[in-house]
Structure 1
Amino acid sequence: MIKQVVEAYGKLSKRDLRLLRILEVGQHRHEFVPQELVERWARGKREEVLDSLRRLHYLGLIRRNLSPYLGWKITASGYDVLAIHTLRMRRKLLRLSPTPIGVGKESEVYSGETPGGLKVAVKFYRGGVSSFRYEKAFESKVKRFKHLRWVYETRLSALAEFFALGKIFEAGGMVPEPLARTRHVVVMTYIDGVELFRLEGGDYKKIAEDVVETLRTALKLGIVHGDLSPYNILVGGRSYVIDWPQWLPSGHPTALDYLMRDLGNVASYFGEKGVEIPVEELLELARTSGTAGELFTAEINKYIYY
């Protein structure tokens, strides 16, 4: 839970945070960064460095390896701390809720607040749901860093959702506005609504119109959601399509299969409410749509390490 991570973050000094960053950089070459390298790169008094390492270890932010040499690596909680720290330094995040507002197989979502008082949703990616869709570009980036594969997979998921939300939002689709991304975390506007599958009564025709318009916008860009259902449609004043880390470019060999599943899910739901979805029109859009896949491959090549 993020509550323990935030509490640990509050106990860290600047030197502690600097050591975490040193380990993050050092793990590009070493699964466990040798302690002698950590001491050298830290450029501080040895006892102070050792004290920081002990504190980080006690708080569960790093792990120790004793054989064949003494070394250190960052844990998932340590990466959470680095992401939170970066967002705070960029003035994109001030505080987080102690408990999640949404938990899935591959992510946790918390409500948060920016220094300006804006309520936001903060999504921490815990698994890589996108890597197989960009296998060639992704594998070329991580083949030299197999020990960091899980790190890069979560970063790819964050990058994928940030990219899709940005493109669709700019084009007028009903999605949360992406505000910031670092490592495996995305900050977006908070949508005050209820999941469609929980809704009891409402203007289903208007809800369907919002959903179809967002899908139409995404497909014109070449973006297929890939996991659409009443579970990731939020209904408030308007209706928003959420959860885009698993999107596929329309040119992917399996994109139409996923799109047909997406459309089948929503068409079945709205059909029970007496509302028809223009399935054939949306399928045709996917066959003649934009170049999001090529653009995103370029994003992978630029940003997967950061």
Structure 2
Amino acid sequence: MNAKLLLTLPFISCAATANTNPNLEIYSQKVSQTIYKGQRVNIPVNLTLPADRRHLATLGFDSNQLRSMDCKVKIYDGANSLKHNLDCRAAHGLHTFATPVDYWQDNYRAVVSLYNADFSTSYQRFEGNFRFNFGESTRIDNDHLPTWWKKTYDVVGLDANGDYDGDGFSLIQEYYGNSMPNDADSHPDFPPVIDFDETHSAGASLTVSFGQQISQWAEITPTYNKKVKSLELMVENTQNGRNQSVVAFVHDQDNNRVYSSYLKWPGKLSVALDEPVEVEKLRIQFTARQYSSNVRPTYKIKLNATFTE
């Protein structure tokens, strides 16, 4: 496991009104809404982004800061997991994200949630603007630093483990520690740990009748790391029966076995490979069966594969 001493911050807040970084692309959402007393309004923000701009860097906002108006911005990833629940009650501000590698993904979406807790008047009119600032999600130097950040501080081509400004911290530490790599007086905010391994998943849902054996294939394509180091099988079962099993055979893109044996539920659910195996993609064959005549279970199956550099 390649681990460096770094810890990620959820976000940092400071006063600001606009993004002036030319290496970030702004997606703006204006909100003009009449909100009655006791009413909550949820405004969806579907972020349509260019293919190379999917690294969420900052969120800027400004509003008329109404009395007793609660304001939250909830940001979800492509798997619909809540990544951030941010406070936007101030008239203006900027949230800066310490975005780890797994935030480089498709299908970000956000919800602006407003609640009018002022019961002294019938309604209030909210006027605001929210700016989601995205940077290039590519990598220039094949390291773990995003293109937009390296361009911002003019460190393109430099070793991510090097100390650019002589303050005792590497570029990697400066990035994940939310400090500036070109300022010797700017230091990481915390002692940092980040694992640069990446984990991807694929799954299937198989409904099996008595005496039946069915199979389904799935694929996993790693993003940056190409060497698979461990595999984990996870199974949820809707009904219990006699002699049930789920088996996963794992192959590479050429249909060669990555793991010479197989994972099985119930049974062997995880394995760490003796040596990481380099692949372009994984092809997984899930096979399920059961031998109880009075049940027809559905197996919800997921295989997690962890890749290293």
Q: TM-score, normalised by structure 1?
A: 0.22
Q: Give the helix-richer structure, 1 or 2.
A: 1
Q: Give the strand-richer structure, 1 or 2.
A: 2
Larger radius of gyration: 2
Q: TM-score, normalised by structure 2?
A: 0.22
